[in-house]
Structure 1
Amino acid sequence: MRRMLLGLVAAVALAGAAPAQEVLPPEPGIETTIQSQIDAFLRDDLDEAFGYAAPSIQGMFGTPQNFGAMVRNGYPMVWRPEDLRFGDLVDMPGGLAQTVIVTDGAGVEHWLEYRMTQTDAGWRIAGVRIVEAPGLNA
């Protein structure tokens, strides 16, 4: 489990800061996938939540339980959000990235970048990273 988490952290670190990209119109399928995964987390339905992860993520974690533990420990704001809204969708090298603004139970806002991939089963989540909210790097 520790090796998987370190691998995920390394992959996120190697991604680095992304240059500005053209904003695309909203993609309802992407928003539905993300919302459905979060709804599954709120119901503690790890099997369903794991199903919205891309095959590469499923292979990395192996089981819904391992995946759920990673989300609970690494992304508590996703595990139990108080509110969420969708920001920009951009085309980036390697796929589309959807910004999601999540408010946690303490009222703190978190900006996340969801990397999305199209599969035969529809849109799947290929990775999530916490990003800095615009305007905070002045």
Structure 2
Amino acid sequence: MRLVTLALGLLFLTLAPARAEPSPTDRTSFQQIIAAQMSAFRVDDGVAAFGFASPGLQAKFGSAATFMEMVKEGYAPVYRPRAVEFRAVVDHNGQPEQQVFVIGPDGRGYIAHYMMERQPDGSWRISGCYLEPAQDESV
């Protein structure tokens, strides 16, 4: 009986989806991608900024112009941040989420939660972002 239980346990482990911890190289990639997208926002280069979005996110918005309008209207803290500080990478429904503290143009602090998605070629892209006000962090 003990052998059967052990065998079933091993079978379950092999069937469970793997959630690999992002490597230090992956974490560096997340930061480089997000920083590069913010740099593209800074100079209003919508094509470059849109290029860092995952294929699913690109399909959702359809064009760089539509994407940029959404960012300008709803994401001013990442569109025109006064300051940026990379924080923890956490698991978000099995995908890595890079947390970024930003100070928006309004002087208030926010945590930008960037969901990262590995592409078939092994590269990473941004698959989503949401903002939340940071607790007691502003200038």
Q: TM-score range by the shorter chain?
A: 0.7 to 0.9
The residue matched to 1:101 in structure 2 has which SS? Answer: strand
Match of 2:98 in 1: 98
Deviation at 1:121, TM superposition (A): 6.5
Compare 39-48 and 86-95 and name the one that shifted more: 86-95
Partner of 2:39: 39
Is the contact between residue 95 and residue 117 of structure 1 (CA under 8 Å) also seen in structure 2?
A: yes
**Aligned residue identity for 2:126:** I
CA distance in 1, matches of 2:61, 2:55: 10
SS of equivalent to 2:117: strand
- Partner SS state of residue 106, structure 1: coil
CA deviation after TM superposition for structure 1 residue 130, in Å: 1.4
Q: CA deviation at 1:123?
A: 1.2
User: TM-score, normalized by length of structure 1?
Assistant: 0.75
1:117/1:124 contact within 8 Å kept: yes
Amino acid of the structure 1 residue aligned with 2:134: A
Q: Identity across aligned pairs (percent)?
A: 34
Tell me, what secondary structure is at the counterpart of 2:59? helix
Q: Which residue matches 1:6?
A: none
- Structure 1's 44 and 32: CA in aligned 2 closer, same or farther, altered over 3 A? same
**Structure 2: segments with no counterpart, 5+ residues:** 1-20
Q: Which position in structure 1 is the counterpart of 2:124?
A: 123
Instruction: Kindly indicate whether the alpha-carbon contact (under 8 Å) linking 1:83 and 1:104 is maintained by their aligned counterparts in 2.
Output: yes
Q: 3-state DSSP class of the match of 1:133? A: strand
2:75 match:
75
User: How many angstroms does 1:108 deviate by?
Assistant: 1.1
* Contact 1:90/1:98, CA 8 A, preserved across alignment: yes
Q: Retained in 2: the 8 A contact 1:24–1:88? A: no
Under a length normalisation based on structure 2, what TM-score does the superposition of the two structures give?
A: 0.74
In the alignment, which residue of structure 2 is the partner of 1:60? 60
Distance 2:78 2:136 in 1: 23
Aligned-CA RMSD value: 2.2
